Chains A and B, each alone.
Chain A
Amino acid sequence: MTCFVTVGTTLFEDLINKVLSEDSLENLKKIGIKKILLQIGKGNFEKEVVDRVFKGVAENEGSASLDGLEIEFYRFKPSISDDMADAFIVIGHAGAGTCLEVLALHLPFITVTNDKLMDNHQAELAMQLSDEGYLLQCTPSTLSETILKEELFSLRQFEAPSKKFVAEHIKQMVGIKSEGS
């Protein structure tokens, strides 16, 4: 029962701090999470979080355990797909690449939009996906309530539009004989 948290290559300190806030940890425990794995990118934890969770030391990677919760973090990995596939739920930034990757795995997914970024056009996709019920969207300040929402475990499954038909259509336009006809 792992909760995987990812910020991609962005700097998003609000997200990593809020996930480890007392409210969020409490709520994550309520839904049965035993381990939290964070990919924190360039950001750093707040001093309060470092003191409370990691007992004062948090460098480029580390781990801690807190009231029966295992917490581990690292900055970057060449590929985070394995960590993602092992997760029970995923909390991530609203980047398009991350969204599509998690939705392809059909995992319960919360995207957190960085409300401090102006004109964040990447969030457009996350907004549309949440309107259609494929994922839950929130901001850092509403994260802990969002974790408890029941909809998280009854999200619709997203099927990315298949490019096969596009390719077929293009072949017809160019005038190439397709195998079928």
Chain B
Amino acid sequence: MFFFFFSVTALILFGVLILTAFMAFQVRHSNHSAKIKPRKEKASLCAVLGSGGHTTEMLELIKHFGDEFNERTYIIADTDTISEDKAIAHEKSRNNDKYCIERIPRAREVGQSYLTSIASTFHASVFAVKLIYRIRPDLVLLNGPGTCIPVALATAFFDMIRLIDTVIVYEESICRVKKLSLSGAILYYLGMVDCLIVQWPGLKRKYPRATYIHDLKKTQDDKKSD
């Protein structure tokens, strides 16, 4: 009898703990709260490269980062060699050799069924947890491929237990006009990302917590004129 009550109480307390950690995480990572972060000179970056168009779009964004991100890690799905070549070519073009490429098993192949993709996502998550624990990035960039879910979950987990302090940014592809992609929607509804960037006004109307890419330009122009 005592044991029964003990385990129920323990379970409830554990639930409360998890919930508190999750809520604290969401407050820390919500777009609305003004954040006072320690100013850093250098930061480490971790980008998940998908396939084809996703990689092109991601490198388009990474092009605008300079030496302030001096440690770079590219996470690439196991079977993808084109993305690897593109990432290497990009780093060569800016004469940087301080980067590494990590491989992760695919979470979901295009067209795989939802049931088996849960199993393979779990497999990929184990990899992602080990990987994020080792590299401890300051910034994680995601933009759509299935691989990005385990990486986001692993990062959020370590952030929740306060082992790392990481900004997670998800940029939705320009191809998405009316609906977020599956990865984007999962991260949006779980509140896992600090900033979810969308490129069409229709998406901003449907998902109000997202950031519309043209609004960023406006806010930064305003700041300059102040």
A residues whose Cβ falls under 8 Å from a Cβ of B: 96-97, 100, 121-122, 124-125, 127-128, 160-171, 173-177, 180
Report if B163 contacts A (CB, 8 A).
Answer: no
Q: Is B88 an interface residue (CB 8 A)?
A: no
User: Bound state CA distance, A41 and B51, in angstroms?
Assistant: 21
Nearest chain A CB to B115's CB is how many angstroms away? 21
B213 with A170: CB separation less than 8 A:
no
CB of B139 within 8 Å of the partner chain: yes
Residue of A96, A160, A169 near B195 (CB, 8 A) is: A169
Interchain CB contact under 8 A, B43 and A176: yes
Q: Are B194 and A173 in contact (CB under 8 A)?
A: yes
The count of A-to-B residue pairs whose CB atoms sit within 8 angstroms is 88
Query: Cβ of B200 and Cβ of A166 under 8 Å apart?
Result: no
Beyond known contacts A160-B174, A168-B64, A173-B195: 4 more, CB 8 A cutoff: A96-B174, A128-B177, A163-B60, A166-B61
Would B39 and A175 count as touching, CB distance under 8 A?
Answer: yes
Which 8 pairs across A and B sit closest by C-beta, in order of nearness?
Answer: A175-B37, A167-B64, A128-B177, A165-B216, A161-B213, A96-B175, A163-B61, A165-B217
- Which chain A residue lies CB-closest to B68? A176
Q: Which residues of B does A touch, CB under 8 Å?
A: 35, 37-43, 53, 56, 60-61, 63-65, 68, 138-139, 141, 167, 169, 171, 173-178, 194-195, 197, 199-200, 202, 211, 213-214, 216-217, 220, 224
Least CB separation from A178: chain B residue: B68
Contact A174 B167 (CB under 8 A): yes
Residues in A with CB closer than 8 Å to B213 are: 161, 165-166
Partner of A164, one of B64, B68, B194, B224: B64
Residue of B nearest to A167 (CB): B64
Contact partner, A162, options B68, B167, B173, B217, Cβ 8 Å: B217
Cβ of A118 to closest chain B Cβ, rounded Å: 13
Measured between beta carbons, the chain B residues less than 8 angstroms from A160 are 174
A100: contacting residue among B64, B174, B194, CB under 8 A: B174
Question: Contact at B39–A177, with CB atoms within 8 Å?
Answer: yes
Contact across chains for B174 and A125 when beta carbons are under 8 A apart: yes
Q: Within 8 Å CB of B35, what residues of A?
A: 173, 175
A163 touches B175 (CB 8 A): no
Residues of the B chain whose Cβ atoms lie less than 8 Å from the Cβ of A162? 217
| A122 vs B176: C-alpha distance when bound (angstroms) | 9
Tell me whether B195 and A97 are in contact (CB under 8 A): no
List A contacts of B38 (CB < 8 A). Answer: 175
By a CB distance below 8 angstroms, the chain B residues around A161 are: 174, 199, 213-214, 217
Chain B positions within 8 Å of A166 at CB level: 61, 64, 171, 197, 213, 216
A124 close to B217 (CB less than 8 A): no
Report chain B residues within 8 Å CB of A97: 53, 56
